[in-house]
Amino acid sequence: MARIGVFICHCGENISATVDCPKVSEVAAKFPGVAFSTDYKYMCSDPGQSLVVNAIKEHKLTGIVVSACSPRMHEPTFRRACAEGGLNPYQCEMANIREHCSWVHEKGDKTDQKAIDIVRMMVEKVKRNNALLPIKVPVTKTALVIGGGVAGIQAALDIANAGHKVIMVERDPSIGGHMSQLSETFPTLDCSQCILTPRMVEVAQNPNIKLYTYAEIESVEGFVGNFNVKIRKKAKSVDETLCNGCGMCTTKCPNKKNPNEFELGMGNRPAIYVPFPQAVPNIPVIDKTQCTYYKNGKCKICEKVCQPKAIRFDQEDEIIEVAVGAIALCTGFDIKKTDFFPEYGYGKYKDIIDGLQFERLASASGPTSGEIRRPSDGQVPKKIVFVACAGSRDPAKGIEYCSKICCMYTAKHAILYKHKVHDGQAYIFYMDIRAAGKNYDEFTRRAIEEDQAQYIRGRVSRIYERDGKLIVVGADTLMNAQTVEIEADMVVLATAGVANKGAEELAQKLHVSYDQHKFFSEAHPKLKPVETNTAGIYLAGACQSPKDIPESVAAASGVAGKIACLFANSELTREPLIAMVDRQAPPMYSSCTGCFLCQPVCPYNAIEREEVKDRNGNLVRELAFINPGLCQGCGTCVAVCKSKSIDIEGYTNLQMYAEVDALLNS
């Protein structure tokens, strides 16, 4: 005989303000098989849990229904309490009367009735629960880091230094990400390359790290501890094992007028190129869309000048398969380009540039060797306007959020500008100065007080060109919303930070969720900031939302810590809520007919053929067998099984019908 206990939680007022909890408890007490029913203010609290534990012992309960929040929230808590009371932890069910009831309905009889029905369903279900044992799976102690920006670099180094193997996959020909393009960094103004390059080299030299550049993720299968990943290593047309990075090919390449991505179009590069001098690895790639040989079948000058004979025109993309136990997503961000702004000329004015382009102009290794010269005619701009929040915090542009880094880098730009153009004047249009962070506010004060940046609080409605000047029209909201017009020589738009190209496709390949702006979502905004909602996949840096370097690095170390914890165990415990094929005593063996329709529908390749043999070793039957290590409990096989021989443990057909029955016959 089942003896079920029902525990109705008030969740403070979250449930009790809408649902009459004592009444639900009273009604539930009369359900057949219920031996005990009560309600309590916070069931998840210590006294609440003790209440559950004691009730199980005292009333000799065989199963419990905790009627509270979503199982995503506290199922583990109450399974533990259930076990402490002496029951199998899977004899516990959650009846969700918060998300599914009190939060979405008004107070009233109907709402109470719905709560009662939900409890009734779960009581009928738990009566049919079986005791289940957790599944153990091995852990592959190798981590995959996707993206080699500062976040990916930090994560890879930390994991490698913890003694684990790391595979890093970077889309570009070099690691480094956006940080390698920056000139100096706020709030200390230390040179970006100088602090980043040593770490890049460390990645290349660490024996625990295997680096694949010019590579992308092709597919990801498996689950925490046991992912199988295919990496597409794009053809560089260069044999990396032979190339010694001498640079002859890039110098001699006659096709030199291709827009330089690293300089954001403000310079040219040859068709065979290394993105920047400090690139890691220092190995060139041929851009097949630009190379004369690939286009016309003639040239091959690089091949002729290459001493180690490393050029390979016939090289093809390579697919590399690796097994990893955890994945760190560090694919970073991008910024809107100036052509996103019709009011600022749709990108048609050469001297309206974005923040990254300014970084390149200010960088000693940039196209102007660090002198601030405007792109149109190379003049030094004497009046420069910075527009903060270009696109950010603007619902009309579809970007409601604050891009967070722009206030700081705009202040930095104003400072750098003043350091380089002493008689120049910088104006900054802003909405608010958001400079929260250690030494951040002091930094923006420095821009204003020491470097005389003139901050104008207001937005820029339009920029147009007239007689070689850029007329910036804005409002000064601190001066009675007066119109301000500035005749500028150059304008820098601090354009919104947005999700990186390809973020959505990558998220879909990895089954991690992302928000409406295509930034990857963390599992919990406060308590699980570096986890995704897919176990074993973590995220760090600006792929989650615009972040500055310290934040990206901190998150990356967080991820490394998480992965090191995961790798501290050689086995993982998994929920036993997986599919099982019926097994019986001979001569039946199973109701499975061996049709194997289930095999092709399984997304996880978890269904195998099991041969049943008699004592003499003769094959009697072939039956479906589900590999517990691979099955994710999705239930697709259950739906296609004609003989109804497959069930999901914890969600058997019997349990499901009992729930439906309880609802219909209430």
Ligand X SMILES: Cc1cc2nc3c(=O)[nH]c(=O)nc-3n(C[C@H](O)[C@H](O)[C@H](O)COP(=O)(O)OP(=O)(O)OC[C@H]3O[C@@H](n4cnc5c(N)ncnc54)[C@H](O)[C@@H]3O)c2cc1C
Which of 58, 343, 377, 515 is the binder for other proteins (CB under 8 A)?
343
| By the rule CB under 6 A, 549 interacts with ligand X | yes
CA pair distance 149, 546, nearest whole angstrom: 13
Residues making up the chain, counted from first to last: 666
For residue 396, the partner it binds in other proteins, ligand X, none, with Cβ less than 5 to 8 A by kind, is other proteins
Which of the stretches 378-386, 458-466, 470-478, 498-506 binds ligand X when contact is defined by CB under 6 A?
498-506
CB 471 within 8 A of CB 487: yes
| Binding pattern for the stretch 581-620 against ligand X, x by CB under 6 A and - elsewhere | ----------------------------------------
357-376 residues near ligand X, rule: CB under 6 A? 359
The nearest distance, CB 179 to ligand X, in angstroms, is 5
Residues ≥6 apart with Cβ < 8 Å to 32: none
Which of 92, 145, 151, 602 is the binder for ligand X (CB under 6 A)?
151
Which of 464, 524, 588, 644 is the binder for other proteins (CB under 8 A)?
464
| By the rule CB under 8 A, 657 interacts with other proteins | no
CB 510 within 8 A of CB 227: no
The nearest distance, CB 396 to other proteins, in angstroms, is 7
Q: Which residues pair with 621 in a beta bridge?
A: 612
Which of 107, 131, 259, 346 is the binder for other proteins (CB under 8 A)?
346
96-125 residues near ligand X, rule: CB under 6 A? none
Nearest to 574 by CA among 158, 138, 65: 138
Can the peptide bond before residue 587 be classed as cis, meaning omega within 30 degrees of 0? yes
Residues ≥6 apart with Cβ < 8 Å to 600: none
| By the rule CB under 6 A, 262 interacts with ligand X | no
Size of the site for other proteins (CB under 8 A): 11
Q: What is the 3-state secondary structure (H, E, C) of 591-621?
A: CCCCCCCHHHHCCCCCEEEEEEECCCCCEEE
Which residue, 299 or 471, has its beta carbon nearer to other proteins? Answer: 471
Residues ≥6 apart with Cβ < 8 Å to 432: 407
383-422 residues near other proteins, rule: CB under 8 A? 396-398
| By the rule CB under 6 A, 216 interacts with ligand X | yes
Please, what is the end-to-end C-alpha distance for the chain in angstroms?
Answer: 21
| By the rule CB under 6 A, 335 interacts with ligand X | yes
Which of 409, 427, 538, 567 is the binder for ligand X (CB under 6 A)?
409
For residue 172, CA distances in Å to 137, 147, 280, 390, 642 come to: 35, 9, 10, 27, 49
For residue 488, CA distances in Å to 387, 421, 485, 556 come to: 12, 14, 9, 40
| By the rule CB under 6 A, 186 interacts with ligand X | yes
CB 559 within 8 A of CB 591: no
| By the rule CB under 6 A, 502 interacts with ligand X | yes
Positions touching other proteins (CB under 8 A) are: 342-343, 346, 396-398, 462, 464-466, 471
Positions touching ligand X (CB under 6 A) are: 146-152, 169-172, 177-179, 182, 185-186, 216, 330-333, 335, 355-356, 359, 405, 409, 412, 500, 502, 506, 541-542, 547-550, 552
